[in-house]
Amino acid sequence: MSNRQFPGPHDVEPIKGTEGWERMYPYQYPFTRDDPERAAYEKGMFWFYDGLHYPEPMYPFDMIWDEAWYLALSQFNTRIFSIPPVYGVDHRIINGYVYITPVAVKDPKEVEKRVGHFIERAGYYYQNWDALVDKWEVKIKATISGIENVKVDPLPELEDMSVVVEGLGESKGYKLLKAYDDIIDLGIRCWQYHFEFLNLGYAAYVTFMDYCQKQFPDIPLQSVTQMVSGIDVLMYRPDEELKNLARLAVELDMANVVCAHDSFAPAQAAMSTTNSGRKWLDALEKARYPWFNVSSGTGWYHHDRSWNDDLDLPFSSIRMYVEQLIAGQSIERPTEQVAKERDRITAEYRALLPDADAVEAYDQLLQTARTVFPYVENHLFYVEHWFHSVFWNKIREVGAIMKDHGFIADIEDVWFLKRAEIKEALWDLVTAWATGVKPRGPKVWPTEIAWRKGVMDKFRQWKPPPALGVPPDVIQEPFTVVLWGITNDSLKAWSKAREATNLTDIKQFTGFAASPGTVEGKARVCRLASEIRDLQAGEILVAPTTSPTWAPAFSKIKACVTDVGGIMCHAAIVCREYGMPAVVGTGHATSILKTGQLIRVNGTTGEITVLD
């Protein structure tokens, strides 16, 4: 390992002009210097940059999800299911970027003790998976309807008469504080549910992967994932809705209207003048709830607006599909073909197993992996997309009130405050309103926010190292491997990219072989989902990471390359469904490659080659 060095967690140079940045984040997040015991612990751990969730520096408010999953994942590992050799995942932040590390249980006796609990507890979940997932759906839907129903009302000059005649005994000021608490509480609760099944799901998945690799040392990981592909999951539903709308537009003879407009509003105006047009608009309206609650990003950032927030996003995708339909191209996912290929691969490997015991284990583990798979995918739609999309807008409603009271200059400034600071500011705001005096906030926050914006700009120009500290020999946290793709090979590739003085000099690099096949084509680097509008048919998409919003891109491209992600990330799954090559978790593809470059993507070996 000694030859694979990343900077130590305390050796990262501070950025000039950002001094004091630590106060933008929870106080326990920065690496410590004044606590020798904690510093020694930090030094002994291997921290990797969580670029999967955070391609950008953290906004103080957006840290809520980081804290939420910090708690949720860790508690399920440590305190609920008792994953024997591993506790939770610890978090730190440096220059606005989150680093995480799985925490191992070091005492063998403790591990031993945890085994019994694990068998009993996790065993119960696996055995009752479907019934518990049904329960989960009820809980998550209640949480979503909870957030949809939170009322954030402005503070009136004088309370409504109903407060008096109904004897309510509560003011709008109190209600605002409570509404904010409810929004935050629902958010944290939503993330409790998010992890209820996820780690167990990944563990089952990794186990099947391991079993296959033990039986077939040469088996490409994507063959294992192909065996679990072709299962219908919610994630495809929003995209299917767009395709249906595209088909309907053609059917209703509205294709020319769709194609004639670059954005939704004028198209809507044109449509509303005809019967067919109105029929189409009705269908669109029906599809919007809940299916347009899809984030344009990963859902992790407040600026990842949903389709419902910006109908131009789904509209341009619909238009893309309409154009393809008119050109006589198929816009179907080759579901049948994928299922057929899945069955072939599954049967062929099965036939090569040495004996009946091996076949039994294979069948059992495959079945378990297929059982857990839909949850592993579906939670994304409920939590990161649907809930988050509603959540961000509720906070915007709070921000609007803060703006009205002069606490912030713009609603979008609210993200520069920590959630606890917003609560404090709301107290300031509400008590001043109640008292009939001026609050202190308007003199405090705008200045602080202006400074924080400057700091964030500097953070943005900084490239966070992929990892800090010394890599361990073994990583036991199931997530770390499946989602982030932290393995020997990925670390090697990342450190290689780090050594290169000029990233654009790199002519060959590797990532995770996530979906098999080899193609050559022109690269199209899209850092944001909105940039997929520029995609030309047959190009190779190069993105930091992808999410369901990127779905329309996949019917145009012939391969996909991402910076971050393991073989279970969105891009990997979708490419397997489309049967096109994908290489994910390359670390730096969006920095190394340039739009227009001719590249070769080998989804079987994970190699990317620059050809010109």
Partner 1 sequence: MPNHHPLVCLFQDCNRESLALVGGKVSSLGELINAGVRVPPGFAVTTQGFRQFFREGGLDREVYSRLKGLTEPETQAIETACDEIRQMVEAAPISIELEDLIAEQYRRLSMHCNVPAVPVAVRSSATAEDLPGASFAGQQDTYLWVRGVDTLLTDVRRCFASLFTARAVAYRLRMGFAHEDVDLCVGVQKMANSATAGVMFTLNPANGDRSSIVINSNFGFGESVVSGEVTPDEFLVNKISLEVVRRAIPKKEIFYAVDRESHSSRRYDVPLERQSVQSILDEDIAELVRMGKAIERHYGRPMDIEWAVDGDMPTGGNVFILQARPETVWSSRQAAEKPAAKSAIEHILATVMTGKKVS
Question: Which residues would be at the binding site for partner 1 (CB under 8 A)?
Answer: 1, 83-86, 111, 115, 118-119, 122-123, 126, 203-204, 206-207, 210-211, 216-220, 223, 344-345, 348-349, 352, 354-355, 357-358, 360-361, 364-365, 367-368, 471-478, 480-481, 486-488, 491, 516, 604-605
Q: Which of 262, 304, 313 is nearest to 284 (CA)?
A: 313
Distance CA 410, CA 302 (A): 14
Residue 138, H or E segment: helix 129-148
Write the DSSP assignment of 525-584 as a string of letters.
E-SSGGGGGGPPTT-EEEES---GGGGGGGGT-SEEEESS--TTSHHHHHHHHHT--EEE
- Smallest gap from Cβ 383 to partner 1, in A, equals 24
Pick the closer one to partner 1 by CB: 126 or 451: 126
Confirm if 603 and 518 have CB atoms less than 8 A apart: yes
Pick the closer one to partner 1 by CB: 209 or 429: 209
- Smallest gap from Cβ 191 to partner 1, in A, equals 22
Distance CA 381, CA 387 (A): 8
Instruction: Write the CB contacts of 175 (distance below 8 Å, at least 6 apart in sequence).
Output: 151, 153
Pick the closer one to partner 1 by CB: 368 or 590: 368
What string of H, E and C letters represents the secondary structure of 27-68? CCCECCCCCHHHHHHHHHCCEEECCCCCCCCCCCCCHHHHHH
- Smallest gap from Cβ 11 to partner 1, in A, equals 21
* Maximal CA-CA distance, the chain: 81
- Smallest gap from Cβ 227 to partner 1, in A, equals 10
Residue that has been written with the tokens 């003085």 in this structure = 501
- Smallest gap from Cβ 367 to partner 1, in A, equals 8
- Smallest gap from Cβ 216 to partner 1, in A, equals 4
Pick the closer one to partner 1 by CB: 180 or 208: 208
What is the token pair recorded at 168?
């309510």
- Smallest gap from Cβ 490 to partner 1, in A, equals 9
- Smallest gap from Cβ 365 to partner 1, in A, equals 6
Pick the closer one to partner 1 by CB: 155 or 358: 358
Please calculate the CA angle 468-469-470 and round it to the nearest 5 degrees. 130
Residue 512, H or E segment: strand 512-515
- Smallest gap from Cβ 352 to partner 1, in A, equals 4
- Smallest gap from Cβ 484 to partner 1, in A, equals 11
Pick the closer one to partner 1 by CB: 1 or 537: 1
Pick the closer one to partner 1 by CB: 116 or 454: 116
- Smallest gap from Cβ 531 to partner 1, in A, equals 32
- Smallest gap from Cβ 343 to partner 1, in A, equals 12
Pick the closer one to partner 1 by CB: 206 or 411: 206
Cα distances (angstroms) measured from residue 137 to each of 134, 234, 501: 5, 13, 49
Residue 180, H or E segment: helix 172-194
Exposed, middle or buried, 213 (CB in 10 Å: 0-12/13-18/19+)?
middle
Distance CA 468, CA 598 (A): 33
Tell me whether strands 582-584 and 559-562 are parallel, antiparallel or unpaired: parallel
Pick the closer one to partner 1 by CB: 75 or 487: 487
- Smallest gap from Cβ 228 to partner 1, in A, equals 15
Write the DSSP assignment of 185-240 as a string of letters.
HHHHHHHHHHTTTHHHHHHHHHHHHHHHHHH-TT--HHHHHHHT-S---GGGHHHH
Confirm if 227 and 345 have CB atoms less than 8 A apart: yes
Pick the closer one to partner 1 by CB: 191 or 349: 349
- Smallest gap from Cβ 6 to partner 1, in A, equals 13
Distance CA 52, CA 39 (A): 26
Pick the closer one to partner 1 by CB: 314 or 511: 511
- Smallest gap from Cβ 538 to partner 1, in A, equals 22
Is residue 99 classed as helix, strand or coil in its secondary structure?
strand
Pick the closer one to partner 1 by CB: 214 or 460: 214
In sequence order, which ranges of 228-355 are alpha helices (DSSP H)? 237-251, 255-259, 264-271, 275-291, 312-326, 335-352
Pick the closer one to partner 1 by CB: 169 or 354: 354
Q: Which of 561, 546, 540 is nearest to 239 (CA)?
A: 546
Distance CA 597, CA 228 (A): 34
Exposed, middle or buried, 19 (CB in 10 Å: 0-12/13-18/19+)?
exposed
Pick the closer one to partner 1 by CB: 95 or 223: 223
Pick the closer one to partner 1 by CB: 305 or 342: 342
Distance CA 59, CA 129 (A): 36
